[in-house]
Chain A
Amino acid sequence: MPLNIQFNGETRTLDAAMTVAALIAELPLAGKRFAVERNGEIVPKSQLANVEIRDGDRLEIVIAVGGG
């Protein structure tokens, strides 16, 4: 069953259920610091592999960038 999610403000369709950690593994984040919010709540790093993405989830993945 494909899932429709909002990922960093854009609609994205996942072919199958996966964990947040599995989604992150597809991103250019290896070895980098990031943080994840799901439906407005922080997902702690220790929980990324345990949290299943559900249809309609709103995910935000952020990094640190230059700023003042």
Chain B
Amino acid sequence: MSRNTEKLIIAGKQYTSRLLVGTGKYRDFNETRDAIVMSGAEIVTVAIRRVNIGQNANEPSLLEILPPSKFTILPNTGGCYNAKEAVRTLRLARELLDGHALVKLEVLADDATLFPNMPETMIAAKELVADGFQVMVYCTDDPIQAKMLEEIGCVAVMPLASLIGSGMGILNPWNLEIILDRATVPVLVDAGIGTASDAAVAMEMGCDAVLMNTAIAKAKNPVLMAGAMKKAVEAGREAYLAGRMAKKVYQGSASSPAEGKIS
């Protein structure tokens, strides 16, 4: 499969790490930075929000903690509920990041589930692709719609494992398998990872990368969990490349020789 390259390639650019992380929900910027450095992530997501007019000018900003010279900043459209808001937000992000085109599109449908609004996601994706953006798109795990997003020109499709911030892991591996089987752009699991084994499972299945935020930020020890996630993603990738043994459902197979036993 053309996706199966040694390094992660998104929109023509190579990345060594297959773990992408969000920057929300941390206690403070020190914890944000320490966890993200420990994760080894090269791509980090950020949200775009109105500046707080009362803020102290001496306080550092997120992009001083995580400078675009060291990280690929992936602006998101978190909190957007229609295509218009999402496109507007990413145009501001592009100006803020000096023309940077790689973005994460997410158009939410309802604030209880944060499930994607797929019709609005499609509209926004078309408009953004036409405007020169490189769109990584958060979507449902519907293989048909994931393929439609690829055909629109999205540079990566990012189906949810389970609801954003739920930590429930991969709830529908069968749909994810179909998406992986059909996609020719990178497939990332985005949302729903709870712990290291969830990330490893996604990678073992052949996902190109995993994007997470809450699983690290809301662990009791985020920095330690960031390291665990790094290892899980690496281990899962290596297991995928190694090719797992065939499952034998009804018969055991001894690892020790049957000959030469003492009795």
Contacts and interface: CB of A to CB of B under 8 A. Distances in A.
Interface of A: 7-9, 27-30, 32-37, 40, 42, 44-45, 60-68
A66 B48 contact: no
Interface of B: 22-26, 32, 45-51, 53, 55-57, 59, 61-64, 73, 75-76, 78, 88, 91-93, 95-97, 164-165, 191, 212-214
Contacts of A28: 51, 53, 55-57, 59
Given A35-B96, A42-B95, A62-B92, A68 B49 contact: no
Nearest to A45: B95
Given A30-B57, A35-B95, A45-B95, A62 B49 contact: yes
Contacts of B97: 33, 64
Contact of A65 (B47, B53, B214): B47
Given A29-B51, A37-B92, A45-B95, A64 B56 contact: no
Given A28-B56, A60-B92, 8 more contacts: A28-B53, A30-B57, A40-B88, A45-B95, A61-B50, A63-B51, A64-B62, A65-B62
B57 A66 contact: no
Contacts of A68: 22-25, 45, 47, 76, 78, 164-165, 191, 212-214
Given A63-B61, A68-B24, A68-B214, A27 B53 contact: yes
A66 to B, nearest CB: 4
A58 to B, nearest CB: 12
A22 B105 CA distance: 33
A6 to B, nearest CB: 12
18 contacts: A8-B53, A27-B53, A28-B51, A30-B57, A32-B63, A33-B63, A35-B92, A62-B96, A63-B62, A64-B93, A66-B22, A66-B23, A66-B62, A67-B46, A68-B23, A68-B45, A68-B164, A68-B191
Contacts of A42: 91-92, 95
Given A27-B53, A29-B57, A34-B51, A65 B95 contact: no
Contact of B95 (A27, A30, A44): A44
Nearest to B92: A35
A63 B26 contact: no
Nearest to B211: A68
A36 B93 CA distance: 10
Contacts of B91: 37, 42
Contact of A64 (B26, B53, B73, B213): B73
Nearest to A43: B95
